[in-house]
Amino acid sequence: QVQLVESGGGSVQAGGSLRLSCEASGYGYSRNGCMGWFRQAPGKKREAIASISSDGTATYADSVKGRFTISKDNAKDILYLQMNSLKPEDTAMYYCVRASLDSRAALCSPLTLGGYWGRGTQVTVSS
C-alpha cells in the first residue's frame, strides 16, 4: 500500500515562509510519474497549484507563481514546496500527489493520470 505523508505545515504571519515536504512509502508507485501539490480552502474546491515532471519541469498555478517553488530530491524521493510571501488567502489544507504517469504540459493530477494522494497538512496564514 502506498502512503504519501506531508509535513511542514503550520501557522505563519502574512509575508512569512514555510516549506512543505512529502515522503512516499510502500510499494507499487511509479517513480517516473509527475508529482505535485494541491490545496483546498474551506468552502472551496481542491485546486492544483504546482507540479514537477520526471525531468524536473515545474508548472505553477497563477495564484502561486513567483512565490512558491516546487522541487524534489530524487535520491531521497522527497517532494518539497517552498512557500514565500504567504498571504491569508493561501490558508488551506495542502496535499501532495504522485501520479502514475508523467506530465509536463499540465499540472499533475491523479484525477487524470492515476496515482495517489497524501492526507494533507494545514497551512494557516494570519494577517
- Summarised one tens digit per residue, pLDDT across range 94-124 is 999 999 899 988 899 998 888 999 999 999 9
Instruction: Record the cell numbers describing residue 29, joined without a space.
Output: 508507485
Q: Alpha-carbon distance 46 to 56, whole Å?
A: 24
pLDDT digits (tens, 9 = 90+) for 10-55: 999 999 999 999 998 887 777 889 999 999 999 999 999 999 999 9
Contact call for residues 77 and 23 (beta carbons, < 8 A): yes
